[in-house]
């Protein structure tokens, strides 16, 4: 039996733990709060900060391999663990190359991977970039609107702001600006990469972004784009992972490099060009559909990688649509789930609830996936089910 440690106590860890059981692996999590979706299912939950240097070192002592389910973890502690010979997957240098959006975009540029034009915005620490800085950025990037992103700590669209003019109130702190891409679709591909360098690439999905909730709301697999675009997206995602692996090994020869799961988000432009938006070095919301639609889910792959087992198949067995189940507007308090019976009566529908103790408006409380013989059938079923399920407060 191997003991796996996961930094973070959220739903991504929870779903990984569910998969780990079948391999008799023991799971320990380091979580800032207890109870939480992942910590409740773990064999051992350690409560502590995810950037607490000593806390991470201590946590890692008890496990054979270590990963994370959220990027905001203390990378210095991960480097130290690698120095001590601990299996950190992906390697600490991967996180180092990704967690700052300016560094990540720089890597994509250096490797010739297409991405939206961007630049670093001038600002004092903790301050907003001034009008001059925003105007100059807009000139460089082809005019307003531009997209401002904080260099660190963004998640689910927080830390991203579209600026229509230099007088708009910008985000505080170190940030980058990007040209606003006039995309026709947002695509994503999850890549699993094992220690021996083998890879499994999931099919390209299409993401539907909900502005109101500010989160990626549903995911359709496969995306409704040409065969050529599906293939290009997968190739680009693989290039990103290779680029990350090479960069990580330049930063630290000792680390594991790009071993683990990688969610690569992309924009498909009207003219067919695909730009990489960002890479997440962990299980990804856009890969949840794989739990019902593929022989080996992203979480299964994650655990296989951490246990040193061969990768499974990422082939799409049937079309699927995944929809996030989020808190109702105005719902704050203990969650009550309505309409589950009706939704589950629809053929091909599966529900995953994360067990969060408190619902808030638009908070991700779970997800549902509908599979179908065709994409249309999967979509119909998913839409019907989403219309039934509601999460309100007690
Ligand atoms: P996060 O790290 O918070 O997920 P993203 O970079 O994925 O941030 O941005 C969140 C969303 O904002 C994207 O899914 C997309 O809809 C929109 N977005 C981000 N960058 C751009 C851009 N350059 N042009 C147009 N829309 C963008």
List the CATH number of the domain containing 23. 3.40.50.20
Q: Are residues 84 and 161 in the same domain?
A: no
Q: Are residues 3 and 65 in the same domain?
A: yes
Report if residue 203 sits inside a domain: no
Model confidence band, residue 236 (pLDDT cutoffs 50, 70, 90): very high
Record the pTM. 0.96
Q: Are residues 82 and 129 in the same domain?
A: no
Structure tokens at 71: 């990027």
Positive or negative: CA dihedral 296, 299, 301, 304: negative
Q: What tens digit of pLDDT does each residue of 182-224 get? A: 999 999 999 999 999 999 999 999 998 766 666 558 999 999 9
Report if residue 100 sits inside a domain: no
Q: How far apart are CA 177 and CA 120, in angstroms?
A: 6
Report if residue 368 sits inside a domain: yes
pLDDT of residue 245: 98
Q: Are residues 7 and 70 in the same domain?
A: yes
* Mean pLDDT, all residues of the chain: 95
Q: Are residues 128 and 84 in the same domain?
A: no
Answer with the one of 157, 179, 201 that is the final residue of a domain.
Answer: 179
Report if residue 238 sits inside a domain: no
Whether the pLDDT of residue 94 is over 80: the answer is yes
Q: Are residues 84 and 122 in the same domain?
A: no
Beta carbons within 10 angstroms of residue 11's beta carbon = 24
Q: Are residues 78 and 125 in the same domain?
A: no
43 lies in which domain range?
A: 1-88
**356: CATH:** 3.30.470.20
**141: CATH:** 3.30.1490.20
211-237 in b/e form (b: 16+ CB < 10 A) is: eebebbbbbbbbbebeeebbebbbebb
Q: How many domains in the chain?
A: 3
Whether the pLDDT of residue 226 is over 70: the answer is yes
Model confidence band, residue 37 (pLDDT cutoffs 50, 70, 90): very high
Tell how far the Cα of 367 is from the centroid of ligand 1, in angstroms.
21
Give the residue, out of 117, 157, 183, 217, with the most ligand 1 atoms within 8 A of its beta carbon, to mutate for a pocket test.
Answer: 157
Tell how far the Cα of 157 is from the centroid of ligand 1, in angstroms.
6
Q: What tens digit of pLDDT does each residue of 305-329 get? A: 999 999 999 999 999 999 999 999 9
Q: Are residues 131 and 59 in the same domain?
A: no
Whether the pLDDT of residue 244 is over 70: the answer is yes
Q: How far apart are CA 157 and CA 185, in angstroms?
A: 16
Distances (CA, A) of 171 to 127, 154, 168, 348: 8, 11, 10, 43
Report if residue 30 sits inside a domain: yes
Q: What tens digit of pLDDT does each residue of 143-157 get? A: 999 999 999 976 666
Tell how far the Cα of 147 is from the centroid of ligand 1, in angstroms.
8
Answer with the one of 179, 196, 211 that is the final residue of a domain.
Answer: 179
Which protein residues are within 6 Å of ligand 1, measured from CB? 116, 147, 149, 154-160, 178, 180-181, 186, 209, 265, 277-278
pLDDT of residue 217: 82
Q: Are residues 2 and 77 in the same domain?
A: yes
Give the residue, out of 163, 209, 277, with the most ligand 1 atoms within 8 A of its beta carbon, to mutate for a pocket test.
Answer: 277
Q: What tens digit of pLDDT does each residue of 332-386 get? A: 999 999 999 999 999 999 999 999 999 999 999 999 999 999 999 999 999 999 9
Query: Whose CA is closest to atom 16 on ligand 1?
Result: 209
Give the residue, out of 121, 147, 176, 185, with the most ligand 1 atoms within 8 A of its beta carbon, to mutate for a pocket test.
Answer: 147
Answer with the one of 156, 179, 202 that is the final residue of a domain.
Answer: 179
Q: Are residues 84 and 146 in the same domain?
A: no
Model confidence band, residue 126 (pLDDT cutoffs 50, 70, 90): confident
pLDDT of residue 212: 65
Question: How far is residue 129 CA from its own chain's centroid?
Answer: 28
Q: How far apart are CA 38 and CA 329, in angstroms?
A: 25
Q: Are residues 3 and 49 in the same domain?
A: yes
Query: Whose CA is closest to atom 22 on ligand 1?
Result: 180
């Amino acid at each position: 039996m191997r003991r796996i440690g996961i930094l973070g106590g959220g739903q991504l860890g929870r779903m990984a733990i569910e998969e780990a059981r079948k391999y008799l692996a023991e799971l320990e999590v380091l979580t800032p709060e207890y109870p939480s979706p992942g910590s409740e299912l773990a064999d051992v939950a350690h409560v502590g900060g995810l950037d607490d240097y000593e806390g991470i070192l201590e946590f890692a002592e008890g496990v054979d391999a270590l990963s994370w389910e959220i990027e905001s973890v203390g990378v210095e502690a991960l480097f130290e663990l690698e120095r001590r010979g601990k299996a950190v997957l992906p390697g600490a240098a991967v996180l180092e190359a990704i967690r700052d959006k300016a560094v990540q975009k720089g890597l994509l540029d250096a490797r010739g991977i297409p991405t939206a034009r961007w630049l670093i915005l001038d600002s004092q620490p903790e301050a907003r970039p001034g009008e001059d800085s925003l105007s100059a950025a807009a000139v460089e990037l082809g005019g307003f609107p531009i997209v401002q992103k904080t260099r660190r700590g963004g998640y689910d669209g927080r830390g991203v702001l579209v600026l229509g003019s230099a007088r708009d109130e910008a985000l505080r702190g170190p940030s980058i600006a990007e040209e606003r891409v006039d995309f026709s679709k947002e695509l994503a591909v999850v890549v699993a990469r094992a220690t021996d360098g083998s890879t499994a690439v999931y099919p390209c999905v299409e993401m539907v972004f909900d502005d109101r909730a500010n989160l990626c709301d549903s995911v359709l697999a496969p995306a409704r784009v040409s065969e050529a675009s599906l293939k290009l997206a997968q190739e680009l995602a693989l290039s990103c992972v290779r680029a990350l692996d090479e960069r990580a090994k330049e930063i630290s020869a000792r680390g594991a490099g790009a071993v683990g799961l990688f969610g690569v988000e992309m924009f498909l432009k009207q003219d067919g060009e695909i730009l990489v938006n960002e890479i997440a070095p962990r299980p990804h919301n856009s890969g949840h559909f794989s739990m019902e639609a593929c022989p080996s889910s992203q979480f299964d792959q994650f655990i296989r990688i951490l246990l040193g087992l061969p990768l499974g198949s990422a082939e799409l067995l049937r079309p699927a649509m995944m929809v996030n189940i989020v808190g109702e507007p105005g719902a704050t308090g203990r969650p009550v789930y309505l309409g589950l019976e009706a939704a589950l009566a629809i053929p091909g529908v599966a529900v995953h609830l994360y067990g969060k103790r408190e619902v808030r408006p638009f908070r991700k409380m779970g997800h549902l996936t509908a599979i179908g013989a065709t994409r249309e059938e999967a979509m119909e079923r998913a839409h019907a089910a989403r219309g039934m399920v509601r999460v309100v407060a007690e």
